[in-house]
Structure 1
């Protein structure tokens, strides 16, 4: 479970869409406050998903090869196939000129509530769902698993946290460097999505198939 959560959490934190949006928020009026609202909402989303799964399982992993365990492995396999298929689709799709989403022009006037809501909209739900299927194996009687769940949520939020802290500590330098980062993310958006989707998708497929046939 721990390795799977590290792979999924890393893919979430490296996603180009939400990172680009977060940089735009930081560059807007009251950007640090908007960024904090986005960051906390993003983290709360992950925590809520983890909490819901733990409540459903009672904090105890299902017995190997039991119906709940098989269902969780099947769900991970489905998420893996979906992510891999999406990566292949993005790879085979003809190149398109990059056009910023229509909402980017309204970021300056966005409220704190809107900024927080944007985090839920931009959450990569396929990866979050894969994380939820993985959390089924968490054993809350183990301190290691507690740390793994907390670490997963923090890892999936790490890029936002680093940019927020950087903007607070060195706002002038942060704005220039984050603008350059956003430009790079936008230029390489398709490539990043393909790499992350295929990497996580193939990883989940291999792990879930191994668990199902073991």
Structure 2
């Protein structure tokens, strides 16, 4: 479970879409406040998913090969297959023409804090969050290791935007220039990043879930 959560949390954090949008959000008027709202909403979504799963299992993982355990593994397998199929589809399409910033992203300078919260919901990679929730079915809340694993998952999944928020808070001048360059790099390699993250995460979920189902 621990390794699964590390891989899923890292994949969530490195997603190019929300990172690019977050950088634009920070560059707007009152960007730090909007960024904080984005982060808190993003984190709240993860906590709610995990808390819901723990509530359903009562913090006690189902026995191996039980109906609940098998359903959770099947869900992870399904997510893995979807990610692999999506990544392979984008890989087969090959490189596309350089992207322009979508119009809705270009208008972020006029969004409110409420819209920033909605953006966090919209850009959350819900397929990977679902995989994380299916993994948490195995969580034994009486174990300190489980608590550390869950805290690490939250930190990893929020890490990229949290680091950028702190950078912009304590070094605003340097952050503005560096994050602008980072956004350009992200947008120029967006398709490649999506392919790599989708394939690697999907293949891991497929392999791990299949192994658990057949052994």
Structure-1-length-normalised TM-score: 0.98
- Other-structure match for 1:35: 35
After TM superposition, the structure 1 = structure 2 runs for residues 182-197 of structure 1, keeping only pairs within 5 Å, are 182-197=183-198
- Other-structure match for 1:165: 166
Superposition deviation, residue 146 in structure 1: 1.2
Superposition deviation, residue 101 in structure 1: 2.1
The 1-side partners of 2:158 and 2:185 are apart by 20
After TM superposition, the structure 1 = structure 2 runs for residues 51-130 of structure 1, keeping only pairs within 5 Å, are 51-97=51-97, 98-130=99-131
State the Cα RMSD in Å.
0.9
Cα distance per residue 1:71-120 (max 9 Å; x no partner): 11111110110101110011112543313222112211110110111000
The 2-side partners of 1:193 and 1:95 are apart by 12
Size of the aligned set, in residue pairs, is: 214
- Other-structure match for 1:8: 8
- Other-structure match for 2:154: 153
Structure 1 moving runs of 4+ over 6 Å: none
Could you list the runs of 5+ residues in structure 2 that have no partner in the other structure? none
The 1-side partners of 2:96 and 2:211 are apart by 38
SS at match of 1:138: coil
Structure-2-length-normalised TM-score: 0.97
Superposition deviation, residue 206 in structure 1: 0.6
